[in-house]
Structure 1
Amino acid sequence: MTDNPLKSIAEWRDRPGPSGIPSICTAHPMAIEAAMRCTAPTPLPLLIEATCNQVNQDGGYTGMTPADFRRFVEEIAARTGFPLERLILGGDHLGPNPWKSLPADQAMAKAEVMIRAFAAAGFTKLHLDCSMGCAGEPVALDDAQTAARAARLAAAAEEARPQGGIAPVYVIGTEVPIPGGAMEEIEGLELTSPGAALATFQVHCRAFADAGQQDAFTRVVGLVVQPGVEFGNHNVIDYDPAAARDLSAVLAQMPGVVFEAHSTDYQTRGALTALVRDGFAILKVGPGLTFVLREALYGLDAIAEELFPGRRQRSLRQATEAVMLEAPGNWDRYYHGPEAERALQRHFSYSDRIRYYWPQPGAERAVDELFALLDGVELPETLIAQYLGGLYPEVRAGRLPPRARDLALAAVERLAQDYVAACCS
């Protein structure tokens, strides 16, 4: 049986090579391709994760089961030339969250089916998240109940994983940030206390033992904590190493474990590097990737209007607006204020809830139409400077072809490079 490359992640910073790993949390094919292109020249494996809302036994908002998602990623790898042996698939926030409106016994039964599907499909990095209450329960559960449910899901995963395959590693933790970022502007954060982090680890150790999952607990490699990073619709809270010093120090009491940092989107390269140095070795990024991709697509959309005015019935921006208004469920309760403010947030919020709509037929057609219109066209440098200014220096230097698809991929690669650099420093 091949060892899981993440099993020893706590030892990485004590030997030559990478000290951490980015966790690419997206189901967008162009974002995944860009991450592959960025990672390929490095010594890093590529960790791609799907959340319980994106991918589950019912299809999630992508329409994919875990087995479907695996095929989807492997097809992108084949086109890109990325070696499958360097690919790690993970499941994020695996627990009852998609069904938390149901009674706990029903929601947990569905969560068990889900994690079995992830494990059976060969996902080898599993984040157990049972921190949320179900129907009739408090919004957040206490550590003991959360840990007991996590151990129950670990047992289901252990039963379902392919025999002779790579044994999965697990990530635990009860101080889990909101998936996709906060829902409004944030002014400050309360970091996880060192005592709370240690208590969470210890209570999970006992819960796994009570469930007969001692072997699975030896493969717990990560603990989700709040290191003081988050983003809202309009602002970002940056990492402060001094504030996290005591939290970082408690890792010495949890051998074999690193911290997993959620919501690292929009952190600077310097902040990401400091996070890895301080033991937050798994850096999760999701909305940030599709945010910069949306920026690039909207820039290309504006260039297309300059070059081919009136050629399309409506622009990409107009098409995505229509798709979002037709199905407001993924943004309506997250964006507040006057209609003009909500319209601004639909397209430009850091939480990037537009990412839920790219798989929709209307948005997909509009993107395909945009690329078809610009296919084979060398875009003028002056328009790239105007609408895709961050990519202009690379185009001007001759390092980046002035073509639509290359520019869109480069926008995501530029962001992913910050994560690769932070983990390989």
Structure 2
Amino acid sequence: MNVKNKKMIKAIDKTKRKLDMPKTEYVLKRIKELEADGHSPRTLFAACPNSISVIQASLRAAKRNNAPIKFATTLNQVDTDRGYTGFSHSEFVRYVERECQKINFGGPVIIAIDHGGPWLKDKQSTEKWSLNEAMDGVKQSFEEAVKAGFDLIHVDPTVDIFLEPNETISIAAVAERTIELIKHIEDFRRKNKYPPISYEVGTEEVHGGLADEKTFDTFLELLKSGLKEANLEDVWPCFIVGKVGTDLHTATFDPEVASTLTQKVKPFGSLIKGHYTDGVTNPEAYPLTGMGAANVGPEFTISEYEALIELEKIEEKLYEEGRIAIKSNMKDLLWSSVIESGRWMKWLFDDEKGKSFEQISPERQEWLISTGCRYIWQKPEIVIARYQLYENLKSNGFEAEEIVLSRIERDMDNYFHSFNLVGLNKYL
């Protein structure tokens, strides 16, 4: 680590100790101060670390752009059972630290749980855990995250699998469960003398009950009064997730709605967080409306998938020319593994449910596979195939892994630039 980066880290740590401020809130505070001094508004970029390649690309892109990076890890990805990435909470933190050392990156890295709530982990939903079982499982995950040194936890109890198909969870239940989970984290953290962390609450999805402004307002008031009653007046989320026009299949950000929600949470001292920012058509509008942060995830799985398919086309040509002995069969293995996993069924449209994979349109098949690869990247046969693909190209002068990482980084650069994050670290 060079002297400049060492000084940067020491400065941040010193400020945090002085203000007793979590890393996330320190970075947000500095962004606000810089804007008051005439700098452009900024929005934090959060990457969903759904593969080893995405983690590496995120840190490389953050270093090149001299900007902070936030990792939003779901409980499906990183958890006590190691999720589909193969990491527990402590292992994930150690891996990120190791990768930072490898590339000599000393900028702020914010590590967070994303969508932490009952039944948002697929296993809980498919096995139909009871409410108590699901809440206890989430609480255990939160404890491990605190112990591992996570910086932020998104508390999101907005799903209830035992409701009727057309029934929406009550906003009172969402607020009650949110407070219960935050209280559990704070009791555990304070009892064991772990440092303060930051919080994010709410969801942008309709099933969460925060889809309209009236319900959004009600949630904020219930949360405020509930935390006060629990003697947690000093705890308040820095991020509240807002429905700002984007969802899994919609890529247009709504600046007017975002501005309205931003003004609603401003008196509370919070910022609006956007989810499903993948492939958004107008990312440059996020900072202009005061958005605090935005998550991007499946887009980078598609980036990785497309890069591997590009490499396989090169491999096929090399094979035809007799320059390699064995093909990796990367694409066929990816498709068969995703289909066999059954995880693609989670993302079916209503009119697709009940159909076999072959009965779905080719365009949708491609999307389900390219985004579903995140679930199977770490399967042994896929790891072996990737190694074979990389070695085949390496023996013929191609830097295969570099091509994959560069493709993901290119798509990440779009957000670093659009969110005005380039060069931010020199002010932190």
TM-score (norm 1): 0.81
1:414 to 387, 390, 410: 410
Q: SS of the residue aligned with 1:305?
A: helix
Structure 2 residue aligned with 1:316: 330
Deviation for aligned residue 1:340? 5.6
Instruction: Call closer, same or farther: CA 1:343–1:325 in 2, change over 3 Å.
Output: farther
C-alpha displacement of 1:333: 4.6
Q: Is the 8 A contact 1:51 1:94 kept in 2?
A: yes
Alpha carbons of 1:252 and 1:19: their partners in 2 closer, same or farther (altered >3 Å)? same
- Seen in structure 2, the aligned counterparts of structure 1 residues 29 and 333 have a Cα distance that, compared at 3 Å, is closer
Match of 1:264 in 2: 277
One of 60, 64, 71 as aligned partner of 1:37: 60
* Partner of residue 225, structure 1: 242
* Equivalent in the alignment of 2:8: none
For 2:175 and 2:295, how far apart are their aligned partners in 1?
22
SS in 1 for 2:22: coil
Asked if 2 retains the 8 angstrom alpha-carbon contact of 1:104 and 1:134, the reply is no
* 8 Å Cα contact 1:39/1:45 also seen in 2: yes
2:98 to 75, 78, 86: 75
Q: Which amino acid aligns with 1:225?
A: G
Give distance in 2, aligned partners of 1:31 and 1:251. Answer: 32
Structure-2 separation of matches of 1:368 and 1:314? 8
Residues 196 and 326 of structure 1, relative CA distance in 2, 3 Å threshold: closer
**Are 1:356 and 2:385 matched, yes or no?**
no
Secondary structure, aligned partner of 1:170: strand
Q: Residues 55 and 324 from structure 1, CA distance in 2 versus in 1: closer, same or farther, beyond 3 angstroms? A: same
1:313-371 CA-partner distances (Å, limit 9, x unpaired): 552101112322333x2113534356163665444349711211111111111111111
Partners of 1:102 and 1:134 within 8 A in 2: no
What does the per-residue CA deviation read over 1:167-214, in whole Å, with 9 as the maximum and x for residues that have no partner? 2110111444689xxxxxxxxxx9944333332222111122222222
Q: How far, CA to CA, are the matches of 1:370 and 1:125 in structure 2?
A: 37
**Correspondence for 1:112 among 107, 127, 139:** 139
Match of 2:401 among 381, 400, 405: 405
Are the equivalent residues in 1 in contact too, given 2:159–2:207 (CA < 8 A)? no
**Contact map agreement 1:287 1:350 (CA 8 A) in 2:** no
Structure 1 Cα separation of the partners of residues 188 and 136 of structure 2: 15
Note if contact 1:175-1:225 (Cα within 8 Å) is conserved in structure 2: yes
Judge conservation of contact 2:204–2:244 (CA < 8 Å) in 1. no
Distance (whole Å) between structure 1 residues aligned to residue 408 and residue 385 of structure 2:
20
CA shift for structure 1 position 422: 2.0
Percent identical: 23
Secondary structure of 2:294 counterpart: strand
Q: CA deviation at 1:69?
A: 1.5
One-letter identity of the residue aligned with 1:198: D
Q: Secondary structure at the match of 2:159?
A: coil
What are structure 2's unaligned runs of at least 5 residues? 1-16, 422-428
Return the TM-score normalized by structure 2: 0.81
Match of 2:304? 293
Q: Would you say 1:87 and 2:109 are equivalent positions?
A: yes
Whole-angstrom CA distance in 2 between matches of 1:137 and 1:206 = 29
> Which of the numbers 292, 304, 323 marks the counterpart of 2:315?
304
Deviates more, 1:129-138 or 1:87-96: 129-138
Structure 2 residue matching 1:409: 3-state secondary structure: helix
- 1:352-394 deviation digits (Å, cap 9, x = unpaired): 1121111111111111111111115445xxxxxxxxxxxxxxx
RCO higher in 1 or 2 (8 Å CA, sep ≥ 6)?
2
Q: AA paired with 1:301?
A: E
- Show the counterpart of 2:197: 168
Q: Which blocks of at least 5 consecutive residues in structure 1 are unaligned?
A: 180-189, 380-402
> Does the aligned pair in 1 maintain the 2:143–2:188 contact within 8 Å?
yes
CA 1:176–1:125 in structure 2 vs 1: closer, same or farther (change >3 Å)?
farther
Contact 1:144–1:207 (CA under 8 A) maintained in structure 2: no
Question: 39, 48, 54: which is aligned to 2:71?
Answer: 48
Alignment map for 1:178-257 (pairs within 5 Å)? 192-217=211-236, 220-232=237-249, 236-242=250-256, 244-254=258-268, 256-257=269-270
